[in-house]
Amino acid sequence: DRAKDASVASARFVQSAFDPDHPANIQILTRDGLPVFSSPAGLSRKLPTSVLREYRTNDTTHLRCYSLATPLYFISMALPVDDADASLRALGLTLGIAMPVALLASLLLGYRIAKRGLAPIDEITSTAHRITSLSLRKRIPSTGTDDELGRLVTTLNEMIERLEGSFTAITKFTTNAAHEMRTPLTILRGEIELALRKKTLAPDARAVLESNIEEVNRLILIVEDLFTLARADSNALSLS
């Protein structure tokens, strides 16, 4: 009896701690299933004695039942969770609407950020495509930052500067070589032409000199072409 009275007193204390608008339903049953105590809410059926279970009453109230087994009694407490269900449904509806909108907004924002971030790379690419052997004086505009893109632009400009120096050196060498070769070849052609004017020249010697002057003229044409190309590379002459 003392255990029964103590259990009933504990059940009433627990029941009084809940909101009157959302009362807790408490039952105490003996091991044989006989009711010892029922909360004032009054249940039309016995609460389940399983550890945790959810079910609905006749008026479709959604209850969540917690049970505790003692050596003498089964103590069960059922709490209505309809408000929690309504809150979860509202939350699910809100998330169902908000998530697609947030996802779409994130995609659009990410696209704009990525496009803005890749714009300097597009500028670097287009400028690099416009630089040729005839426009090595051009440089890629600096981004003004010390990040990866800024260092990339600096490295590319330094490479273009080295290429410009190499092309300039090659052009100067070709121009100087053509100029140095043109003078002796012209002198050699003049001397051969002068030798061919001699009437006492033997036929075999004349044939050799005529062959030599043909080769000299060919070399002179090659030198003139090299000189023309060198002037074109240095933008001193436009080729059609």
Q: For residue 164, with 0-12 CB atoms within 10 Å meaning exposed, 13-18 middle and 19 or more buried, which class applies?
A: middle
Q: Which has more pLDDT, 23 or 227? A: 227
Q: Which has more pLDDT, 65 or 12? A: 65
Averaged confidence pLDDT in the chain = 76
Q: Which has more pLDDT, 131 or 72? A: 131
SS3 track for 139-198: CCCCCCCCCHHHHHHHHHHHHHHHHHHHHHHHHHHHHHHHHHHHHHHHHHHHHHHHHHCC
pLDDT at 2: 56
The Cα 72–Cα 30 span in angstroms is 6
pLDDT at 184: 87
- The pTM score is 0.46
pLDDT digits (tens, 9 = 90+) for 44-53: 455 554 545 5
pLDDT digits (tens, 9 = 90+) for 122-155: 888 888 888 877 777 888 888 777 788 888 888 8
Q: First vs last Cα of the chain: how many Å apart?
A: 120
